[in-house]
Amino acid sequence: MSERERVQSDEAKGPPAEDPRIAGEKHPVARMIGIGIAASLVGIAITLLIDWFPEPAASSAGKIDTLYDVLLICSVPIFVLVMTVAIYSVVRFRAKPGDMGDGPPIHGNTRLEVIWVTIPFIMVTALAIYGWITLDDLEAKQKNEMVVNVTGQQFTWTFDYPSEKVQTKELVLPVNRPIEFKIKTKDVIHSFWVPQFRLKSDAVPGLTTRIRVTPDREGHYEVVCAELCGLGHATMRQFVRVVPAAEFQSWISQQKKAAGGGGGGGGGAAPSGEQLFTSDGCSGCHTLKAAGATAKVGPDLGKLGDVDADFIRTSIVDPNADVTKGYEPNIMPQDFGDKLSKEELDALVKYLLESQE
Amino acid sequence: MTLTRRLLAPGWYRAFLGIALGFGFGLGIVVLVRSLYGWDPIFNWDAIITVGALVAAPVGYLIGIGCFDYWFRWASGAPTIPEDHSGHGAYSWRDYFGVNTDHKVIGIQYICTTFFFFIAGGLMAMLMRAELAQPGTQFVDPNTFNGLFSVHASLMIFLFIIPVFAGIANYVIPLMIGAPDMAFPRLNALSFWMLPAAGTMMLCSYFAEGGAFATGWTAYAPLSTDTPLGQQFFTLGVQFAGASSIATALNFLVTIITMRAPGMTFWRMPLLVWANFTTSLLVVIATPFIAGSQFFVLLDRTIGTHFFDVGRSGDVLMYQHVFWFYSHPAVYIMMLPGFGIMSEVISTHARKPVFGYRMMAFSLVAIVILGFTVWAHHMFVSGMHSWIRVPMMVTTMLIAVPTGIKIFSWLATLWRGVIHLRTPMLFALGFITMFTLGGISGIMLAVVPFDIHVSDTYFIVAHIHYVLFGGSVFTIFAGIYHWFPKMTGRMYDETLGRIHFWMSFIFFNLTFGPMHLVGIDGMPRRVADYAEQYATWNAIISISAFIFGASFLIFLYNMIASWRHGPAAVGNPWRAHSIEWQVSSPPPVFNFDEVPTVVGGPYEYGVPGAVHAVFKEKEPAHAGAVPAPAGGGGAPPPVDQ
């Protein structure tokens, strides 16, 4: 109980006796508040002037950028407060050489402690409410949404427009049209992210996750995988093009024509070797000039040299059978023999043989 | 000694024999089971390495080195001496390399071992920064890179920050509460000796076929259930590190509850004791969850369970929930002991009582409780049920309140103190600066819409390093400098300490500060390569990181040189009040020749004539029961002789 009595006695004494080290200074606290406000204003100005975000390209971006600005405006004064008190204390109350004295035995101050519990509590509560409102706003259902299915796999994305029955490797979106992405994965967890849209969502085995985006600026942006998904994670990049509505329509009909022309109509035809090369993930790790693939995790498949069909087939089904010099074993998935049908494997082997430079 | 006797006596010869026998035993089991089932091949090396090298060999090593000798003797009915002190205290440097039951020896064993893994993890970070200094691939291929950041994080978390705090506490806590040792000295030794096994496993994963585990320290399924053998080195290494941590935490709880000196009520305990008490609660409750999550992965990989196989009604998100139910409290396991160190260092070197002592203790308890209610803030973009996000955002932001209490109370402690800017105090001030920044970015991350953008980016890398390096590791440096005189009986070099501080403070900020920017700008984390637009910042970050890394060499030199040749330290160089400073430096083998009696609070600086504890003569009957090998009251010789 002695501690509590002492705390009370500290408070009962009223304002502490004047400290000789700050006696020459009138109103040290007022002065610190002045310095603190000035430093906060400068700090807020600097942090707001920094160009933090990539250019915004969706209606969601503005809301998140504003939220971040509000967070900065609230954070800077807190940091400045801590720094002002710490630096002031170190400068004013630093021990003189040979000073063996102690500071005054102040054990606490209930009023001060109530203040520094209450103010942060109010601040974080207000920010949480603001965050919640923004979140609901971002995820609200929009009129006239177009659904785009996104499928991740090691190490590539496939986009599919169910209303148009079109599947592509490049994401093209009409500007100002609300989009609902339905995100899935064929293997491990990936994360679909377009930094310019500010929104991301993991692609989770067994689930379909959703995000809603309304792109509002035409341009060419990167689709990034943000969740570690294995060896080729860093190179799992594709592009999204935001285009005017008319251009989008002509692109869609072009895609339909291309898909229809190759297979002779209908969805039943076997995919070509080139399609398999990109849709089954080969392009995520290998370079192949003929397919426009540039990844460097595995060897360049356009420069295999003097090899026959059997070698290529074995290398796909049992990648450890012959590992190219300079590359490690066990890096390439060993289940392509199960994933690909015999026809698909034949088509892929034939395509690779034809694509040698 | 003949070789046979060496192989039978506890120690390294028998440990290597144990490893060989353990491996042979594991190999035998695998071959036996596989041949009974008629599986081909009978010699499946993945299985043999898992059972032999990762389970049986470490157990063989623990038995060989002598962790279980006493218990085996007792269990077999052989005569045991309950007050056997033969394995207690260090009289030569060799005693640090064997099983010892003295908490002070174990504390130093912990600290030196964990710093070894800190150096190993740090070198991996240097290699990563070399690779990231410019876009493209220069030094390591993507597989090696993914292994580097995975092993780096795992070593830093499981083999450095968590156990080094246990090491510092091991040395200091019994002295601080006036106890002759920990409650369970033999369990304490076992806890320590599990660590080298865990760390060696993680390091050795580089030699596994397919390279080191490369799924991050988070080891998300199903990536972790579908990668080469190296993953199992993590899955099982974590079990040993986790078991070590749980055993130590139990030991601290029992020690703190039952072994405080007469007069030391809970409200007279130094805040470091409070901090380790609350941390131990976290460890005991939370650590079994990570053990569970890794066992799920292990069983999926080895015996064909389907916890994370969606094709067989497995649930991938379940991994993340169980993992973060440990790994978020783990953040506080890595921070609360540091808070305790800060309270000791700031109060002692500012010569003032800790401001708001009771609120400081209550805020630790509040963090423990709130810490269990926030795990899913790591999963805002994971695809979990969306309603969970808002409550987790609120609880996460509320943790700012007790954390704020601590920061503001330390500032109020500094206010009007008599501040001695010695190295520990500099690190404490650096801690306050950077932990405030880490806390602020933590609040930002808690706000769901902002987190959706920066989740899995370099902003996260910046945040965790501000909290874990600017926060935890700076408190570790402060603590090491503060108790260095007590542990070694010698003074460290103050000038080198200051250079170490300024170099690490400046280049820490130049390394991790810009990461906030590149993260928001769109650079994802855990990438071996990045877009051209981030090249300039990454070059700056890498150069700063190398200088930051070099600053550690100054610390290392200071510690080694001062331990060997530093000027002798007096018992209480900082004129501190807590009990560990009232005995010689280093303390006697059994800590106290006289039992201390606590008569007041631990931080009564400025109160005329106040003392925390008084020493009275021990009753003669007890004095006879304790052998005094170091010559009674005299301090044992410094360990370097």
Residue A8 has pLDDT above 60, yes or no: no
Option in A19, A206, A230 nearest B223 (CB): A230
Residue A182 has pLDDT above 70, yes or no: yes
Q: Is B535 on the interface with A (CB under 8 A)?
A: no
Q: What's the pLDDT score for residue B374?
A: 95
When scoring A231, A238, A296 by the number of chain B Cβ atoms within 10 A, the one with the most, hence best to mutate, is A231
A209 touches chain B (CB under 8 A): yes
Is residue A2 a part of any domain in this protein?
A: no
Residue A10 lies in a domain: no
Residues A26 and A134 reside in one and the same domain = yes
Is A9 within the bounds of a domain? no
Q: Which residue segment(s) compose the domain that A52 sits in?
A: 21-93+107-139
Verify that A257 and A289 share a domain, yes or no. no
In 3D space, the residue among A124, A227, A116, A48 whose CA is nearest the CA of residue B447 turns out to be A124
Query: Do A86 and A165 fall into the same domain?
Result: no
Minimum CA–CA partner of B316 in chain A: A205
Answer whether B202's CB lies under 8 Å from B154's CB: yes
Q: Do A234 and B142 touch (CB under 8 A)?
A: yes
pLDDT value for A18: 65
Quote the pLDDT of residue A271: 67
Count Cβ neighbours within 10 Å for each residue of B333-347 and write b for 16 or more, e otherwise: bbbbbbbbbbbbbbb
Q: Kindly state whether A231 is in contact with chain B, defined as any CB-CB distance less than 8 angstroms.
A: yes
Contacts of B528 in chain A (CB under 8 A): 233-234
Asked if residue A35 and residue A71 are part of one domain, the reply reads: yes
CATH number of the domain where residue A298 is located: 1.10.760.10
Considering the domain architecture, whether residues A283 and A336 belong to the same structural domain is answered as yes
Chain B: closest CA distance from residue A201 (Å): 5
Does residue A143 register a pLDDT over 50? yes
Model confidence band, residue A53 (pLDDT cutoffs 50, 70, 90): very high
| Residues 139-168, chain A, touching B (beta carbon < 8 A) | 139
Taking residue B136's Cβ as centre, other Cβ atoms within 10 Å add up to: 11
Measured at the CA of B515, the angle between CA B509 and CA B518, to 5 degrees, comes to 145
Determine the residue type at B144: T
Is the Cβ pair A53, B389 closer than 8 Å? no
Work out the minimum CA distance from A152 to partner chain B, whole angstroms.
Answer: 13
Is residue A190 domain-shared with residue A292, that is, in the same domain? no
Interface contact flag, B421 A94, Cβ < 8 Å: yes
More confident residue, A282 or B369: B369
pLDDT averaged per 10 residues, chain B (length 641): 84 95 96 93 92 95 93 88 78 90 95 97 96 91 93 97 97 96 95 96 93 94 91 96 96 96 95 97 96 95 92 92 95 96 96 95 96 95 93 95 96 94 96 96 96 96 96 97 96 97 97 96 94 94 96 96 94 94 92 90 91 73 40 39 33
Q: Residue A261's pLDDT is what?
A: 52
B450-B452-B455-B458 Cα dihedral, nearest 10 degrees: -50
Task: Report how many domains make up chain A.
Answer: 3
Q: Output A318 or B627, whichever has higher pLDDT.
A: A318
Closest by Cβ to B142, choosing from A82, A108, A231: A231
Q: Where are the alpha helices (DSSP H) in A287-333?
A: 309-317
Residues of A in contact with B412 (CB under 8 A): 106, 109, 112
Q: State whether B411 and A86 contact (CB < 8 Å).
A: yes
- Can you give the CATH number for the domain in which A164 is found? 2.60.40.420
Residue type, B325: F
Same-domain check for residues A225 and A305 = no
What's the pLDDT score for residue A270?
57
Is a pLDDT exceeding 80 seen at residue A266?
no
Q: Provide the mean pLDDT of chain A.
A: 86
Q: Does A82 touch chain B (CB under 8 A)?
A: yes
Q: Record the tokens describing residue B449, joined without a space.
A: 């819409």
Least Cα separation, residue B249 to chain A (angstroms): 29
Tell me if B59 sits within 8 A of B16, measured CB to CB: no
* Contacting residues for A207 by C-beta, under 8 A, at least 6 apart: A184, B316, B317, B383
Q: With contacts defined as CB-CB under 8 Å, which chain A residues touch B297?
A: none
Residue A101 counted as domain residue? no
Amino acid residing at A321: A
Q: Which of A197, A241, A239 is nearest to A218 (CA)?
A: A241
Residue type at B522 in one-letter notation:
G
Cβ of A258 under 8 Å from any chain B Cβ? Answer: no
pLDDT in tens, A187-232: 999 999 999 999 999 999 999 999 999 999 999 999 999 999 998 8
Higher confidence at residue B532 or residue A285? B532
Please judge whether B416 and A106 are an interchain contact, meaning their C-beta atoms are less than 8 angstroms apart: yes
More confident: B625 or A350: A350
Q: Which of A107, A193, A208, A327 to mutate to test the interface with B (most CBs of B within 10 A)?
A: A107
Q: What is B399-421 written as a DSSP string?
A: THHHHHHHHHHHHHHHTT--B--
Q: What are the chain A neighbours of B526 within 8 Å (beta carbons)?
A: 228, 233
The per-residue pLDDT for B432 is: 97
- Name the residue ranges covered by the structural domains of chain B: 3-75
Is the CB of residue B315 less than 8 Å away from at least one CB of chain A?
yes
Confidence of residue A4 (pLDDT cuts 50, 70, 90): very low
Q: Which residue of B has its CA nearest to A4?
A: B358
